[in-house]
Structure 1
């Protein structure tokens, strides 16, 4: 495949790389303060429960608040740990978890898109027996993350109100379907029609992380894509090959 990248788009790639390095440093420097906060909360909880000078009602009230804080703290810690594993070029997050947990967490990351968070009903139907992450290549998973984000970013212009994600394991691949429904959804994703993307031809990159670019990258790793588009509905079905048979 031949890819033509205008200088402006190349600068976009450079900015994304620079942003990734910045986030990597930020995540690394958050670990220490978070550990200190966790230990302080544990000490406060112990003091509240063991200090007889504190009235029981007050102790229980503060203990309840601390429990909620610990829950939020654990959630933040898990997100940061997951993000740090993904952006570490030397790390291997593939040994952790399943593709289901990975995709569910990816959707939670995309709540930063406020339209998606507040205006779109989300239905994630992924069976528990989906394979482990190490059944897939790292590059496929990272490209898949960006592809899902690209789908989400097109929702507002199409006045989308529903998003479905379904998946199932086949003999040698994962079948993953993304469906978006809304008032003018069909026009939002017109550039993703299969006949508009010829893998053997030249790809004009107009967006560093555009859907066409990401699908072209996924095809290089053996991923196939099929589309269905109607005025109020768009569906993309991906067949993502396993690196090896998860049942072997």
Structure 2
């Protein structure tokens, strides 16, 4: 379990997060939703070890979170690919950085490539790929680490509607096989419902958590469950009624 206690973050004397408390159960996907400036990405950066300038405590299985001890996969909004490296080099980059010359699990590597349909792209460069293909590379790179924690910041926002649906389904299928603890930031209510077993609602008022909703609609087709989705969307909108009104996509 990941436990966040009284997490407070400030930038230039402006409070971004204030006394956030959160328990994240192992092996589940949590989606985080809130308007711009609510501190969603800041939470991920703290958990990823990128932002170390905070007050409060972060624990992983009762031990203070140590990015050297635990393996954390982080997918930023722009995919984080290196333009001058091939797709194969990009996929292996984090693994090689963390584990050095340690032999990679070839069977697992090939399995990830096949599941994400990336075998034919290994010699290409990021500029040769579509947005959906770049996203698959970013997911492959993170999953190859076999992370204890996977952090995803607006991972599908740059994709067109049909590509986004396809990659979302693919992500869920892969997650079901490995059950990595995941925190996924999104601005899309429908996406938060579809991908989150728990939905964390953040307020822009000093970066606080308004609600953590257990979600029975995780992975269920929105088109086949329209009424249930509509009810959950209404519930989330009510929680955000003092926040920015979100467009359902």
Q: More strand by proportion, 1 or 2?
A: 2
**TM-score, normalised with respect to structure 1:** 0.28
**TM-score, normalised with respect to structure 2:** 0.28
Structure number with greater CO (CA < 8 Å, separation at least 6) is 2
Q: More helix by proportion, 1 or 2?
A: 1
